[in-house]
Structure 1
Amino acid sequence: MNIFIIETKQRVATVMKPLLNAPGSPHTTIQASLPEKAEAVSSDVDLLIIDIPIPPGNGLELCRKWRSARPGLPIILLSVADNIDDKIAGFEAGATDYVEKPFHPRELNARIHALIQCNRPTPPAQKATVLQYADLQLDFHRLSAIRGSKEVELTPREFHLLEYLIRNPERPLSRDELAENVWHTPNTRTSFIDVYINYLRKKIDTGFPTKLIHTQTGFGFMLKDKQQPDNLTL
């Protein structure tokens, strides 16, 4: 596993290297770079971590460039900014995950392994080629969705989130459940899930009279194509 860390000081790389290479863990190569030299590294990278400075402009621009060059690459942003606008800006720049500082190294370690695991292709024998709910299809060969006759491109994280929704239709799914089963890490700060649900809504429900992704007030989310109970809101 090759991890590339972009940071002004090599604190994250120094702390994470022994943890990622603990006994029993797969060997991990960690490269670290200053932001101004971040584009001069090998493309053989399995996961990218960007430690965003304040102001965050340069860090977000690096994220956009890497996302454009490597659409399927897992990218983790680290930042002291903890408000929802900063998180949305990070996700819109192409981040797969967003970790607030300060954080415990074990949490970052868990997130790294979860993203690597999610990004590995699943052997076809373990999954159906296509999952379907109502007029929504999830295509595992093309890693995309089809709503009606409209093909929808998804990021890897959006794909896994939609897969979990389709495999658990018409059942309220809490943010904690989604964090544990899609992100594979329990997380008390689950506002990022709302961001991804919003992304899916724009891609899956926009332009269709029947909405499939619903919010259950005070609980979580549900995939449902029938008339919603009164306590569900869009």
Structure 2
Amino acid sequence: MNQKVLIVDDEQSIVTLLQYNIEKAGFQTEVAYTGMEGLEKATSENFDIIVLDLMLPELEGTEVCKQLRQRQIDTPILMLTAKDDEFDKVLGLELGADDYLTKPFSPKEVVARIKAILRRTNKRENILDKSIIKISELTIYPDQYEASIKDQTLSFTRKEFELLLYLAKHKGKVLSRDQLLSAVWNYDFVGDTRIVDVHVSHLREKIEPDTKHPVYIKTIRGLGYKMEAPF
């Protein structure tokens, strides 16, 4: 069965252009013209990837992305934005988007990005080590995208969990922000690695006994972060 793409955009001309080129590339498509409609379809149907415009009526693309990730819906998201603004790009990635394109764009570029995201997603799923990882009182379950501390289950967004898992698999090794951005987000965002710091902060809120004095994820000043076994 062909892979299914949900296109969420309120501009009919763009939707028509995207549908034509995406279907020509061998995908099935479905369309939503508002943020609310896109959210409803994404939560009630299965899609392989979502092409999501940033500026939408009823509910903005960033809010759609945020709500999907909060509901643990991990469908890859390619965000489209008319704003060539660094803040918007970082915000989209922070909220769980997998990649973004700035308008105007080439339909061929959209198809290429879709294929690249799906290749990365499939590769991650194929090579994901299912073995349980235990670091002191922290236990990580890769197949469930969950972790627990003292038998208390913790839940994460997909990117939070992938960051935690990557840090855990490299326990004791100092990892730079650029390394983490490349490994977890598959993204080269030169000049601003704030997205890594934000996600580390979110992880600390969930796993650290005291966020002011972290014992699991240590900051190595001037270098990056390191996962340690505190006891």
Please indicate, yes or no, whether the TM-score normalized by the shorter chain is above 0.5: yes
- Which structure has greater helix proportion? 2
Which whole-Å deviations, capped at 9, do the CAs of 1:45-66 have from their partners, x for residues lacking one?
1222321128995333433554
SS at match of 1:170: coil
- Separation of aligned partners in 2, 1:168 and 1:133: 12
Match in the other structure for 1:198: 201
Identify which range, 69-78 or 143-152, moves more after superposition: 69-78
Change (3 A) 1:108 1:198: farther
Residue by residue over 1:22-72, the C-alpha shift from the partner in whole angstroms, topping out at 9 and shown as x without a partner, is 6xxxx4333343216434687121222321128995333433554466623
The alignment of Structure 1 onto Structure 2 pairs a total of residues equal to: 218
Matched-pair identity in %: 22
One-letter code aligned to 2:60: N
SS in 2 for 1:173: coil
Partner of 1:28: 27
**Cα-to-partner distance string for 1:146-197 (whole Å, 9 max, x where unaligned):** 1233321112222221111011012111222223222234342533222222
C-alpha distance 3-31 of structure 1, shift in aligned 2 (>3 A): same
Matches within 5 A, 1:1-234: 1-9=3-11, 10-11=13-14, 14=17, 18=21, 27-35=26-34, 37-38=37-38, 39=40, 43-53=45-55, 58-67=60-69, 71-79=73-81, 80=83, 82=85, 84=87, 87-88=90-91, 90=92, 94-97=95-98, 99=100, 101=102, 105=109, 108-109=113-114, 112-113=117-118, 116-117=121-122, 120=125, 122=126, 127-188=129-190, 189-207=192-210, 211-225=215-229
Is the 8 Å Cα contact of residues 78 and 101 (structure 2) preserved in structure 1? no
Contact 1:172–1:222 (Cα < 8 Å) also in 2 = yes
**Unpaired segments ≥5 residues, structure 2:** none
TM-score (norm 1): 0.70
| Structure 1: segments with no counterpart, 5+ residues | 228-234
Q: Which amino acid aligns with 1:97?
A: D
Measured in 2, the distance between the counterparts of 1:20 and 1:194 equals: 38
Query: Over aligned residue pairs, what C-alpha RMSD do you find?
Result: 3.9
**How many angstroms does 1:77 deviate by?**
3.2
